[in-house]
Amino acid sequence: MKKFTRNYNGELIKANEVMVPFEYTDLDAKAVTNPECISYITIGKKTLKVIYKAVDQAWEKDARAAFDLYQNEELGYYVVPNSVSRDALEDDYELELVSAPSAEDIIMATESTKETLKIFVDLVSKLIEKSPKIGYAVLLIHTGVKGAEFYGRMRLAKFPGNNVRQEAEEILKGGLANFDFDGYKGYKSQLNDIYKEEAYALLNAIVEMIG
C-alpha cells in the first residue's frame, strides 16, 4: 500500500490519523493539492479513481466500510481466479485482496452500516440544529477539511477559526453519542442560515456516498 506523509490538501498527517481511500469527486478536484493522494484501482476491466484522505483513527472503520460499499456498487465482488497470482495483483495494483463474502455476510454488513449511518445522521442533524456553526465544522473535520480550506469554508479568520476547530475536534474525540446536547448552548452567528444550508448539503453528500 502507498505510504503518505501529507494529506490530500498538503497538510502533514497527524499521529492519530490514518489515510483511507474515498470516491474521487468534483469537489475533490477543486480541493486537492497533493496529487500523490490520487490513485487508481483497477480490477478486471474496470478502473476506479480514488483519493486518499486522513481521518481520525476513531472513524477509520466507518470510512473503510463506506468505501467498501462504494466499490461493491461500482464493481461487484471480485474473486481472484486460480490462474492469477494474488501477490502479483497486490503488487501491481496496490490492493489487499480478500475472498468474496457470502450473501449472509453481505446482508449483515449492509444492515450494520445502514444502522451506523442512521445514528450518525441523527446525531449530526441534532448538532446542526443546536449550533449550525459547530455542526458544519464537525462535518468538515470529519471529511478531512483542514487549514486554510477549513477557515475559508467557515468564513472565519485564523484565530476564531481555530477556536471553532478545536471545539469541533473535542466533540468528535469524545464521540457524538456521548455529547451533552441538552446542556450545550451553542454559537449564535449571523451566518447560521448559511452554515445550516451547507452543513446539510455536506451531510447529504456523505449519505449518498455511503448509502
Residues 104, 90: Cα–Cα separation, whole Å: 27
Positive or negative: CA dihedral 15, 164, 66, 117: positive
Residues 22, 82: Cα–Cα separation, whole Å: 29
Q: 211 is written with which cell numbers?
A: 448509502
Compute the average pLDDT of residues 72-82. Answer: 51
Whole-number pLDDT of residue 208: 78
* Local confidence band at 86 (pLDDT 50, 70, 90 cut-offs): very low
Whole-number pLDDT of residue 67: 78
Q: 126 is written with which cell numbers?
A: 441534532
Compute the average pLDDT of residues 24-42. Answer: 86
* Local confidence band at 106 (pLDDT 50, 70, 90 cut-offs): very low
Angle subtended at Cα 195 by Cα 189 and Cα 201, rounded to the nearest 5 degrees:
165
Whole-number pLDDT of residue 78: 38
Q: At what angle do helices 60-75 and 192-210 cross, to 10 degrees?
A: 60
* Local confidence band at 16 (pLDDT 50, 70, 90 cut-offs): confident
Compute the average pLDDT of residues 146-162. Answer: 92
Cα torsion through 86, 92, 95, 96, rounded to 10? 40
Whole-number pLDDT of residue 98: 46
Whole-number pLDDT of residue 15: 87
Whole-number pLDDT of residue 79: 40
Q: Based on the number of CB atoms within 10 Å of its own CB, is 43 exposed (0-12), middle (13-18) or buried (19 or more)?
A: middle
Cα separation values, 139 from 9, 90, 186, 211, Å: 16, 33, 16, 17
- Is pLDDT of 57 > 60? yes
Residue that wins the pLDDT comparison between 125 and 65? 125
Average predicted confidence (pLDDT) for the chain: 79
* Local confidence band at 60 (pLDDT 50, 70, 90 cut-offs): confident
Q: CA-based diameter of the chain, in Å? A: 63
User: What phi and psi, each to the nearest 5 degrees, are found at residue 9?
Assistant: -95, 10
pTM of the model: 0.51
Whole-number pLDDT of residue 211: 58
Compute the average pLDDT of residues 101-119. Answer: 60
Contact 186, 131 (CB under 8 A): yes
- Listed in sequence order, the residues at least 6 apart from 206 whose beta carbon sits closer than 8 Å to its beta carbon are 139, 142, 143
Residues 11, 145: Cα–Cα separation, whole Å: 10
